Amino acid sequence: MRTRKRRIDWSQYADLLGAMTDAKVAARVGCTSAAVCAARKARGIPPYPQATTDWPTHAHLFGTMADCDLAKRLGCATATVFKARTARGIAPFRNVAIDWAGWSDLLRSPTRNADIAAQIGCAIETVRIRRRRLGLTREPMDWDAQAHLFGTMPDSAVAARLNCARTTVGQQRRQRGIPPHQP
């Protein structure tokens, strides 16, 4: 069954058209941004000027930090920074080489890859690859020996105790037919 389109009296919202983005007007009015765009164009109102970044002022920052970090700093989308950087032929930022010698104790500890990556300031995958190269892959977990914990506390608490992912604990708990913890 098709729903009937609601008629909008655009004269009530004429002061908003072109004064803010079509998406914001649509959110206020309760319609699609395409409907706002059509109403604005029918009245000959130009679109709200999109925020623009003065790229020549910030061009020296391309390649000196990750696109996502630069986007946060400038208050724009990561894709916008990516497009502007690649249009200028500038290579993406690459972290400097990590001096792994200072991190060997931490790599050999049972600390999670994500926690190590946060401390070092690199990607989780970088830590995982480094541990694998050093032969430091994790021993398989004996889940049957840990099954007594399932259902006695939340999966996240079990995961923290066993130093593994919450989703892994949930999967192992469900495989054994154990219901989740109920507080």
CA 42 – CA 36 distance, rounded (Å): 10
Q: Which of 138, 107, 113, 150 is nearest to 128 (CA)?
A: 113
Show me where the domains of the chain are located: 1-50, 55-87, 100-133, 143-175
Report the pLDDT value the prediction gives residue 39, as an integer from 0 to 100.
92
Query: Of 116, 182, 126, whose CA–CA distance to 155 is shortest?
Result: 182
Residue 5 in this model has a pLDDT that exceeds 90: no
- Report the C-alpha gap between 156 and 97 in whole angstroms: 34
Using one digit for the tens of pLDDT, what is the confidence trace for 32-53? 888 999 999 999 999 887 767 7
Q: Where are the beta strands (DSSP E) in the chain?
A: none
- Structure confidence at residue 110 (pLDDT): 79
Both tokens assigned to 146: 């840990």
Q: Give the per-residue pLDDT at 2.
A: 60
DSSP state of 148: G
Whether pTM exceeds 0.85:
no
